[in-house]
Structure 1
Amino acid sequence: MTDNAAPSRVREIRVARDISSAELARAANIQPPTLSKIELGQRGVTKTFANAIAKALQVRVEDLYAVVGSPIPPPTELDPPNRVFETSPTDRTTLIPMTRDIPVFGTAACSLNEGAFILHAGEVIDLAPRGPKIEYRKDIYALYVEGDSMEPWKRPGQLVYVDPIRRPNKHDRVVVVVKPDNSDYEQAYIKEYIKRDDGKLVLKQYNPDKVIEWPARSVVSIHKVLEPEDIL
């Protein structure tokens, strides 16, 4: 047996168990971006992860290595993961029941060392709860945060809601998708918007505090990150 369980099999069992990606990540004590990459085949899974995932999904570790499309095994005798109403994006202690149908399209990095992947519409890795102020917004999407350079505002693994329509103002947090010169792929980052002029995009990060500039020609899109008051 190898150290890498079939990523799509993990997702296949999770969906059959009616467990969201966020719930599985919490139950297995895995960062949501890490679990997303495992499910999408972006990275392997260690034996430690396999044990935790198997326990959370109520299967044997061996079941994670079965051929995709095999019958889903019945739950083991383990207690199922705890399932609760989602809390608000402000991490308040009040429990708020919300419909879960906001698509999560991937992750966005807070580090400049390496951007994170962002998926195209239709390639949904999870569903996030919908707040009352975006009840009728069908264009809103969500991403998981990677890296720690936007702490204390956001920590790794937290969810951000993104509005692709509303134009960002100075000091808004944004998801910026860039395609650097001589690169064959796009990368997504979360930063604070400062300005866009003189052929460049100027942004700010928090940890460490610094100003970042990108040539405007490298910028694919800039989408505003919603604050809790925009959602609840």
Structure 2
Amino acid sequence: MDEIIHIESHPIMDETQLALKIGTALRTARKQRGLVMRDIAQAAGVSTGAVGNWERGANVMSMENLQAVASYLEIDPIALSKGDVKFLSETQPVSDAEIISDAGHIDTGPLDVEILGVAVGGDDGDFTLNGEVSGYARRPAGIAHLRKVFALHVLSDSMVPRYEPGELLYCGGRDAVSGDDVVIEMFPEQGETVGKAYIKRLVKRSKTEIVCKQYNPAKELVFDPYAIKNMWRVIPTRELLGY
């Protein structure tokens, strides 16, 4: 008989706090196993975006999904339902440094950051921006007073392991410099209504070219600066947390 899990209410932990804690535990266990979000999505029969939402604490996992994920990761489902990680098979112990307990603070601000709608791009485009707002994300403490900030979901796997499909990125702030990750939006090509968009690492920029790189597969890309409509910096997690 399958084990039935009951999540007990905690006197000081509301549903949002519990979702954040479970998400942190899920992310910790996944990375400890050397897996990507896509692996978890396939095991649970959901999209990578759903896994990304679980890990961010944006959505609460159903018991069916929690049990499927716990079984796949070989962790104690009851511990996971409480936001803890307990491995059921041999693995390296999880150190305090590996459990990113403060990551949940990213989602504790006001729900006022626009999430821009995206669509899968072509063979050479990571995605396209459709110009619509698909929802709102919580404003992290580190960008509490930063204006002109938006968020979007990663669709491509070209920046794995840096970013995985389903992850939510916050963009904006200061101008990008070499070493920053960037979102590049191109002007539409002839006959198109929207331009291609990319998430890459900025290598160098000049008046004649903008050089970027990606990780999967590893290669450099050169963009014509006059063909670029917008280039935004991806705000690192440490800044979102206020470090």
The TM-score, its normalising length taken from structure 1, stands at 0.56
1:168 alignment partner in structure 2: 176
Q: 1:142-221 alignment to 2 at 5 Å? A: 142-163=151-172, 165-179=173-187, 181-182=189-190, 184=192, 185-221=194-230
1:105 alignment partner in structure 2: 116
TM-superposed deviation, 1:151: 0.8
TM-superposed deviation, 1:191: 0.2
2:46 is the alignment partner of 1:29: yes
| AA matched with 1:210 | K
**Higher mean displacement: 218-227 or 177-186:** 177-186
Alpha-carbon distance between aligned partners in 2 of 1:181 and 1:207, rounded to the nearest angstrom: 25
Residues 153 and 104 of structure 1: is their aligned pair in 2 closer, same or farther, counting only changes over 3 Å? same
After superposition, give the CA deviation of every residue in 1:45-76 in whole Å (9 maximum; x if it has no partner): xxxxxxxxxxx9xxxxxxxxxxxxxxxxxxxx
Alpha-carbon distance between aligned partners in 1 of 2:45 and 2:238, rounded to the nearest angstrom: 31
TM-superposed deviation, 1:99: 2.6
| AA matched with 2:232 | H
TM-superposed deviation, 1:193: 0.6
2:228 is the alignment partner of 1:229: no
Residues 154 and 115 of structure 1: is their aligned pair in 2 closer, same or farther, counting only changes over 3 Å? closer
TM-superposed deviation, 1:100: 2.1
| Aligned partners of 1:109 and 1:145 also within 8 Å | no
1:15 alignment partner in structure 2: none
TM-superposed deviation, 1:115: 3.6
Residues 167 and 138 of structure 1: is their aligned pair in 2 closer, same or farther, counting only changes over 3 Å? closer
What secondary structure sits across from 1:118 in the alignment? strand
| Aligned partners of 2:183 and 2:199 also within 8 Å | yes
What secondary structure sits across from 2:213 in the alignment? strand
What secondary structure sits across from 2:210 in the alignment? strand
TM-superposed deviation, 1:177: 0.4
Gaps of 5+ in 1: 1-25, 34-55, 57-81, 85-89
Gaps of 5+ in 2: 1-40, 51-64, 66-80, 84-97
Q: 1:31-180 alignment to 2 at 5 Å? A: 31-32=48-49, 92-94=100-102, 95-96=104-105, 97-107=108-118, 113-120=124-131, 123-163=132-172, 165-179=173-187
Q: What is the root-mean-square deviation in Å for CA atoms of aligned residues?
A: 3.3
After superposition, give the CA deviation of every residue in 1:76-111 in whole Å (9 maximum; x if it has no partner): xxxxxx9x9xxxxx9934543333221101238798
| AA matched with 1:187 | K
After superposition, give the CA deviation of every residue in 1:149-171 in whole Å (9 maximum; x if it has no partner): 101111001000000x4111111
TM-superposed deviation, 1:227: 0.2
Alpha-carbon distance between aligned partners in 2 of 1:171 and 1:187, rounded to the nearest angstrom: 22
**Higher relative helix content:** 2
What is the aligned-residue identity percentage? 26
TM-superposed deviation, 1:203: 0.6
